[in-house]
Amino acid sequence: MDEGVRGGAERREGEEQRRPGPPPGRFGLATKLRNYFLAGVIVAAPIGITFFIVWQVVQVVDDNVGKLLPDRYNPETYLPFSVPGIGVLLMVVLITLIGMFAAGFVGRAIMRTSERLLNRMPVIRSIYGTLKQIFETVFSHSSQSFREVVLIEYPRRGIWAIGFLTGTTRGEIQERVEPKLLNIFLPTTPNPTSGFLLFVPKEDVLHLDMSVEDGIKMVISSGIVAPEPGTLPVRQRSPQPAASPPVTVG
């Protein structure tokens, strides 16, 4: 009985092998064209979307800021065609002049008076204070905030998540716990502008060599785009943090 079953299986396998397959080159050309199309999308889409966004921003700035330029100083008054970027250039010049004025003695005095006035307004002082602190942190050359990529074990031991070091924990939070803490921003995928603020013990943070730009690309792409090992700076690797039980504060 077993030999009969085995023989029938062998005959069916032989018939399947003898069935004619698809003609050579019939599906090969379609597959190649599809791969070429996908490769073109990968190359052209980021470039096209980038230029589209930049062009939209330039147009918005030109339409709003360009109106501040008098007609006699506007090149479009004398030229038969429009010149894109006039508003952007004017905005850069105005912001630079504001910075030069604010750096002077009179500018600093006016800024102090304006800040005292804003701090007396209940709602506006919160908005202004938060925005000022964010911009000072991001654009400060001496600050290391948002400039280092780290790994932490989250949401449990043995599972690693990518995060960004924003500073050292200070104030009441650090005084309430014993280990030295670091402020870690844990971004969400694929939108790195939202996430969680975590206070992680310093010994549980694994510092990475990749740049913040590479870390953001990795978060946005859900891990598809990762920096090559050869492009990372050579430095002494940080030891992997030991798996210690979390500290419980009574």
> What are the sequence ranges of the domains in the chain?
149-231
65 pLDDT higher than 70? yes
What is the three-class DSSP state of 48? Answer: helix
Give the pLDDT score at 64: 83
CA distances from 25 to 19, 28, 37, 230, 242 (A): 18, 5, 18, 39, 56
206 pLDDT higher than 70? yes
237 pLDDT higher than 70? no
Give the pLDDT score at 8: 57
Portion of the chain with pLDDT greater than 70, in percent: 76
Which has more pLDDT, 137 or 111? 111
What is the three-class DSSP state of 214? Answer: helix
What mean pLDDT value characterizes the chain? 79
For 164-194, the pLDDT digits (tens) are: 998 899 999 999 998 999 999 999 888 877 8
Residues 6+ apart with CB under 8 A from 214: 149, 226, 227
Cβ atoms of 148 and 164 within 8 Å: the answer is: yes
Per-residue confidence band for 41, with pLDDT thresholds at 50, 70 and 90: confident
- The domain made up of 149-231 has a fold known as SH3 type barrels. (2.30.30)
